[in-house]
Structures are given as structure tokens and as C-alpha cells.
Amino acid sequence: MAFSERVSRLKSSLIREILAAAQRPEVMSFAGGLPAEAMLPKVDWTDMPASMGQYGMSEGEPALREVLAAEARALGVDCDASQVMVLSGSQQALDLAAKLYIDKGTEIMLEAPTYLAALQIFQLFGAECLSFPLQADGPDLAALRVQLEQHRPVFIYLIPTFQNPSAVRYSETKRDAVAALLDEFGVTLIEDEPYRELNFDGGSATPIVSRLKKASWIYTGTVSKTLLPGLRVGFLISSPDLFPHLLRLKQSADLHTNRVGQWQALQWIGTEKMSNHLAELRDFYRVRRDGFQLALEEHFSDLADWHVPQGGLFFWLTLKQPFDTRTLLKPALEQNVAFMPGEPFFANPDQNVGSLRLNFSHIDPERLHEGLKRLANVIRQAQAAQAA
């Protein structure tokens, strides 16, 4: 078969494979970043105008773009509706950015670890993925500066608020410092914020794009973690110099985002109904996080270290005796437990062994202890076999 050269770089999605295996009802899954079904809101379609079944604008519904721009301005982002594009999920922003910037060998910058699907998209287009380590409050700034001085990447991709997978939230100081570095070196920022609203312990920080003075930027978000992932409605907001190019790429990809989902999102975003829903969501997930933390202390305190996440959907565990957690997938699934190995979240997975991402939002609390107990036992057995 005469496929494109790019297809040789196409890797199957590990998370999709694990989620497929986890569909069996007996499997206790900590793998995906799935919202809890109990918190998916009831939606009403009765007032949707018939015109929503017609083709629409590539940029998105005008009323929805206005609302999204207003929400962003409330966060400190200097923008108007002409800079907003409604997407088929926020992941489409990464696809469009990759098409805009990446040729084979193009250097880009990523956190280590970073969002697995972003890594897959950028590598598919042939990017050379450079990375810098994360600390508890954000990037290792010295390492980031060295990379910027040595390489001059075309863009940097960051998830500064409850990062997936590590749950790190950048401090105000680190956000200011990152913005200053990107302005200094003229590097475009892609800032991904799907978890911003899932904040359990108070405190907030304005987006890094709001602190830029010179560098170009793309800011992206979604309703998948707060409303319904099945709507597949996300958005990007960009600096004016990038928007026309991104719009043409969107037009060539899918004409426009589904208008039915956009209409439903518009019934929620910016409303009191949404504010009440978010408050309930935070309370619900806070309880699940706290229960997960107690269960981890019981079953994993001798095996791993972790920070309690202040938001988002994940715990990030670092094993005290590191080894490749990808080797645990098969024995864990044999014990009807699914999880995400940490290695694939790194641009150089074989050099970053010994971590796990565990989702706390979706599993039934009644099965939580049994699932973590089985996973801990799988790890202990593997460590004992390694030591033998």
C-alpha cells in the first residue's frame, strides 16, 4: 500500500486501547479522564431552532463566540469574538496548530510529562519534541531557558492549570516568568486549559496568554470536562496574526463544528445554571479526590510518592522503586484493573520510567479500595520478581 510517509509515524492510542479493554463491567478502571456519569447534566433540546440543522459558519455560532470571548476577558485575556473559533473538541486546536507550524524535523517544546494525545499529534506531523521538567509549582525555569537558548522552537505547548497528567498548577511567579521568556525569545504559546474550572481548593491564576506582550498565542478550552464530552465542543482563541491561517485550516478539515452541540453549549456557558452546575461538580469531585487520597495512603504509601491534586481529574504517582509501568498493564488487566502507565506521557518514554496516572473521577467509590489494592499487589509482585 502506498501510504504517506507520515503514516509510518502514526502510533495507536494507548489510552484508547486501555479504555477498550476496560469496557468489561468487571474491570475497575483508573485509566481514562472520564467525567462521572452521575454529574453529566440533563439537557433539553425542545427549544432548539430547526435552522441548527443547516450548515453554519466555520468560525462557529456568533452568539457562542461572543460568550466565549466574554468569559476569556473575565480571565484577563485581551480578545474579542473575532479571535474565537469553535472546534470539534479542544483537541482539534492541537491538530490545527500542528498543521500550521510543523514540518518533519520542526522543533517544538513540551512539558515533561505532557498530554499524551498532544504528543501523538505533534509526532505524527514529524515534530522534534524537546522538553523540560516540571516542578511542584510549574516549569524548571533554568532548564526551560537553556532549551530556548539552544533550540528556538516554533511553539511551546503548556497545560498550566491542573496539568494532565501531573495535576501541577503553575504559580503566579512561574506564569510571569514563562511569559517573559516567550516574549524574549519570540516563541508562540499554545495554552491548553481543559481543567481550569475543576478547582477544588480555591485560588486561581490568570492564563499565561494574558501576560504576553509580544509573542503570538493560541488559548484553548472545552466543555468536555464540565458539561458533556459527547457534545465534542471546544474552542480556541488566538492572537490576531494567527487566526486567518487557523480558520482556513479549520475550513479544510470539517467546514464547521456541529451546530447542535454548539447550541446546547450556548444554553449553559456564562449562565447562572452553569455556575450552579460547576459548584456541584467541584463539591462532587472534591469528595471523590479526598476518598481517593485516603485509599492511596492505605494501599500505596510504601510504593509511591504523590501530591494531592488541587484540581483536575488525576493523581500522578512516582514509584519509590522505579521500573517500566507499561509492563504492568497485562497483569493488571488480568486482575480486572486498568490504569495509565506514565512513560507514554514523555517525549522520551524509555528515559522516564516509574510513574502512573490514576483517574479519580469515574470509578465507583465502592470499588475504589479493591481496585487500588489489586493494583498495589500487581506492583509488589513485579518488584519482587525484578529483585529475585
Q: How many alpha carbons lie under 13 Å from residue 90 in its C-beta half-sphere?
A: 23
In this chain, the answer to whether the domains covering 5-40+274-387 and 55-271 adopt an identical fold is no
- Percent of the chain at pLDDT above 90? 90
pLDDT at 3 over 90: no
Digit-coded pLDDT (tens) for 80-128: 999 999 999 999 999 999 999 999 999 999 999 999 999 999 999 999 9
Amino acid at 347: A
Alpha-carbon torsion, ordered 278, 281, 287, 289, to 10 deg:
-90
In the chain, domain spans: 5-40+274-387, 55-271
Q: Quick one: pLDDT band at residue 55, thresholds 50, 70, 90?
A: very high
CATH number of the domain at 5-40+274-387, please?
Answer: 3.90.1150.10
167 Cβ contact list (under 8 Å, min separation 6): 307, 309, 310, 311, 312, 314, 315, 316
CA distances from 110 to 115, 122, 269 (A): 9, 10, 30
Q: What is the pLDDT of residue 284?
A: 97
- The CATH fold assigned to 55-271 is Aspartate Aminotransferase; domain 2 (3.40.640)
CA distances from 17 to 186, 330, 363 (A): 38, 12, 18
pLDDT at 15 over 70: no
Among 349, 350, 338, 324, residue whose Cα is nearest residue 114: 349
Q: Quick one: pLDDT band at residue 9, thresholds 50, 70, 90?
A: confident
Amino acid at 23: Q
Q: What is the pLDDT of residue 6?
A: 84
Digit-coded pLDDT (tens) for 371-386: 999 999 999 999 988 8
Q: At what angle do helices 365-387 and 272-300 cross, to 10 degrees?
A: 40
Q: From start to end of the chain, where are the E strands?
A: 28-29, 84-87, 107-112, 128-135, 138-139, 155-158, 188-192, 217-222, 234-238, 304-305, 314-319, 337-338, 340-341, 355-359
Per the CB < 8 A criterion, the answer to whether 234 and 223 are in contact is: yes
Per the CB < 8 A criterion, the answer to whether 135 and 157 are in contact is: no
Digit-coded pLDDT (tens) for 255-281: 999 999 999 999 999 999 999 999 999
| Mean pLDDT of the residues in the chain | 95
Q: What is the pLDDT of residue 13?
A: 64
Per the CB < 8 A criterion, the answer to whether 325 and 358 are in contact is: no
Grid coordinates belonging to 45: 433540546
Q: Which residue has the cell 479493591?
A: 370
pLDDT at 25 over 90: no
Beta bridge partners of 318: 305, 355
Q: Measured between alpha carbons, how far apart are the two ends of the chain, in Å?
A: 47
Query: Residue 157 and residue 93: Cα distance in Å, rounded?
Result: 11
The whole-number average pLDDT for the span 329-344 is 94
Query: Residue 40 and residue 361: Cα distance in Å, rounded?
Result: 12
Q: What is the pLDDT of residue 282?
A: 97
Determine which helix (DSSP H) or strand (DSSP E) holds 69, and give its type and residue range.
Answer: helix 62-74
Q: Cα 79 to chain center, whole Å? A: 23
